[in-house]
């Protein structure tokens, strides 16, 4: 099926802003989201920086229109998804075949951790309501209920490529005329389990991360949610406003090299980018900007960089990692960066790769270090590469 799929609305909440406009301003002004951990109760609070959303659960609940005992994951998801739906401004939604495909990796684990902290020392304590939304799909269902979407509800959990895969699946359902409109993307909240796990892998930086720098030491964890509203060509033609862009290409590949590391030669990364471009009918030379997966770890950046060299050499597009602003939001990263890709096309922006100083000796290119405005951005390649070698690339194109 070659039917085009369009982005009609976008929504995001992250450590650099509670909505699209605040995120855009932060990207333009270099405002970073990393800092000392404030809201999560963790032994790493004074040791490791993280990119937390700057609101308490009570404040997020008010923004989401939900009870404050609901998981932070669901609160973040609902806020961003509601913004995307409002931005799309599609009338008579209930008459359409609609879907909500959302990704996450932690589910309601933040509340489960609270339950067991009280329950383990005293089995008479702990609120059972804190464990009923533990699994990932429960978070999706909470937000779907708020949106009033019932035709198709799905949860994707493929580590750091999760929300990119949610967008990929949504596009396929629209292309094959199964749905008219899908809200797609993902969410993740910070949890003690996540921080402890990544710390055990020894890939967290005690300073603010430096993606694609020779002296990079690791990533900073973040949280947030990002969604795009994908619609069919028929629906796009009936709207009163022009879509942000077209999702022209997408692909998933899995090199299955290691549980938590990418293959050193970037096999999965290369195949995902190459196949996404082929689906979009695009030569590599037509890509104007790459939103890098760019976590700042030794393994990821060399694997992604090697794949880019293989595919784009000798002419490289401008590129940067916006994780230098938001931290690595794990299952939410593909959705958040899809929103940033749409904004790049709409406003002609190339975002800076913050704190970059020293080029990697293995690579013949370097990321952009200053905000570039008034750029002609027609095609953006957005990369999301996860644990287990699950690699996904999305291509957004001006329309």
Would you name the residues annotated as active-site residues? 160, 293, 328
User: Where is 14: in which H helix or E strand?
Assistant: none
Contact predicate 263/255, CB 8 Å = yes
User: What are the backbone dihedrals phi and psi of residue 10, each rounded to the nearest 5 degrees, phi first?
Assistant: -140, 150
Look up residue 207 and give its two tokens. 């300073």
290 pairs with which residues across the strands? 319, 381
d(CA 62, CA 79): 10
CB atoms within 10 A of CB 110: 27
Unique residue bearing structure tokens 């993740």:
188
Query: Are 150 and 184 in contact, with CB atoms under 8 Å apart?
Result: no
Other CB atoms within a 10 A radius of the CB of residue 214 amount to: 14
Q: 3-class DSSP state for residue 339?
A: helix
Nearest to 312 by CA among 363, 355, 347, 268: 363
Residue 19 tokens read as 């909505």
Among positive and negative, which fits the CA dihedral 146, 79, 50, 383? positive
* CB atoms closer than 10 angstroms to residue 301: 27
Nearest one of 223, 243, 286, 312 to 89, comparing CA atoms: 243
């Amino acid at each position: 099926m070659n039917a085009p799929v369009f982005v009609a609305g976008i929504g995001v909440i992250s450590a650099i802003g509670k909505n699209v406009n605040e995120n855009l301003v932060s990207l333009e002004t270099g405002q970073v989201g990393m800092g000392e951990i404030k809201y999560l109760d963790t032994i790493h609070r004074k040791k490791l920086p993280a990119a937390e959303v700057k609101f308490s659960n009570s404040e997020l609940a008010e923004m989401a229109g939900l009870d404050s005992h609901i998981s932070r994951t669901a609160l973040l998801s609902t806020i961003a998804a509601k913004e995307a739906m409002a931005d799309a401004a599609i009338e008579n939604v209930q008459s359409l075949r609609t879907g909500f495909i959302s990704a996450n990796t932690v589910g309601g684990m933040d509340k489960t951790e609270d339950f067991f902290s009280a329950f383990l020392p005293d089995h008479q304590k702990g609120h059972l309501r804190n464990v009923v939304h533990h699994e990932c799909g429960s978070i999706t269902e909470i937000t779907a209920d708020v949106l009033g979407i019932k035709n198709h509800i799905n949860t994707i959990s493929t580590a750091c490529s999760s929300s990119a895969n949610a967008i990929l699946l949504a596009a396929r359902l629209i292309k094959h005329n199964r749905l008219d409109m899908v809200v797609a993307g993902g969410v993740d909240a910070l949890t003690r389990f996540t921080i402890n796990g990544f710390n055990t892998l020894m890939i967290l930086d005690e300073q603010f991360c430096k993606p694609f720098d020779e002296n990079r030491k690791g990533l900073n964890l973040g949280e947030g949610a990002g969604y795009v509203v994908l619609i069919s060509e028929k629906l796009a033609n009936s709207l009163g406003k022009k879509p942000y862009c077209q999702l022209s290409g997408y692909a998933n590949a899995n090199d299955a090299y290691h549980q938590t590391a990418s293959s050193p030669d970037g096999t999965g990364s290369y195949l995902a980018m190459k196949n996404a471009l082929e689906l979009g009918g695009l030569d590599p030379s037509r890509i104007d900007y790459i939103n890098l997966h760019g976590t700042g770890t030794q393994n990821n950046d060399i694997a992604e960089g090697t794949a880019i060299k293989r595919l784009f050499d000798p002419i490289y597009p401008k590129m940067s990692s916006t994780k230098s602003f938001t931290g690595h939001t794990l299952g939410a990263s593909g959705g958040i960066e899809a929103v940033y890709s749409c904004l790049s096309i709409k406003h002609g922006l190339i975002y800076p790769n913050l704190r970059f100083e020293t080029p990697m000796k293995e690579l013949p290119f370097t990321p952009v270090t200053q905000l570039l405005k008034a750029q002609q951005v027609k095609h953006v390649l957005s990369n999301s590469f996860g644990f287990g070698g699950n690699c996904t690339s999305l291509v957004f194109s001006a329309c």
